[in-house]
Amino acid sequence: MSGFALSRLKDLYQNKFKRLNILQEDLNTLELSRGSFDLVLMTEVIEHLEKPEEVLKKIIEILKPGGYLIISAPNYLNIAGIWKKIVERLFKKTWDAWGNHGEGIENFTTAPKLKKWLRQRSFILLEERGGDVIRSWFPFLKKRYNFIDRHPMMVFGRVWPVKYFLMNYFILCQKPNSLQ
């Protein structure tokens, strides 16, 4: 999470909820006990990790039984994602259609891939939604609108099969009360 996003989150919610602790930490160095969190929010992070499996295992460990995970990642099953994959293969470098980050790791993610990983770890998928109709299908319009990060037309993100082909994919899932 960027410094701006973290400070904004704290400004909006830290004083409203007495039991809310907002942390931005490196999971590799953070010492947390098993089952210490009711909720983990991980948005637009997994695609930037060198070893996403290790981070997700740590999240499973620190979540309480019955705890919730809200996770989102870019979904590249759309025109912008396919174009990204082609450009990266041709030019052997990371390409970001929207100029958010031009270098570093950006693993190619899809909604089915993310859902499969969560199900393999016995998570219960409670809700899933696609987001960002405009960026996924009309990336060339970026400079023509200012409302993109407000996720216009989010209603389409609930529609099957449309939700699987939008730019962002959001999942609310729950850790089972007991893992076999």
> What CATH number does residue 145 fall under?
3.40.50.150
Asked if residue 16 is part of any domain, the answer here is no
pLDDT at 99 over 80: no
**Residue 29 CB neighbours (<10 A):** 6
Asked if residue 23 is part of any domain, the answer here is no
Would you say 83 and 97 are in contact if contact means Cβ atoms under 8 Å apart?
A: yes
Average pLDDT, the chain: 79
If pLDDT is split at 50, 70 and 90, which confidence band does 180 have?
very low
E-strand ranges in the chain read 37-43, 63-74, 124-131, 168-174
Which residue would you say has higher pLDDT here, 91 or 146?
Answer: 91
pLDDT at 70 over 90: yes
How many separate domains does the chain show?
1
Which residue would you say has higher pLDDT here, 148 or 112?
Answer: 112
Q: Which residues contact 79 (CB under 8 A, 6 or more apart)?
A: 136, 137, 139
pLDDT at 148: 55
Three-class SS state of 31? coil
Which residue would you say has higher pLDDT here, 20 or 89?
Answer: 89
Asked if residue 162 is part of any domain, the answer here is yes
Asked if residue 9 is part of any domain, the answer here is no
Q: Which residues contact 75 (CB under 8 A, 6 or more apart)?
A: 81, 109, 110, 111, 130, 136, 164, 165, 166, 167, 168, 169
pLDDT at 97: 58
Asked if residue 3 is part of any domain, the answer here is no
Asked if residue 7 is part of any domain, the answer here is no
pLDDT at 5 over 80: no
**Full residue range of the structural domain in which residue 116 is found:** 32-174
Asked if residue 167 is part of any domain, the answer here is yes
pLDDT at 93: 73
Asked if residue 20 is part of any domain, the answer here is no
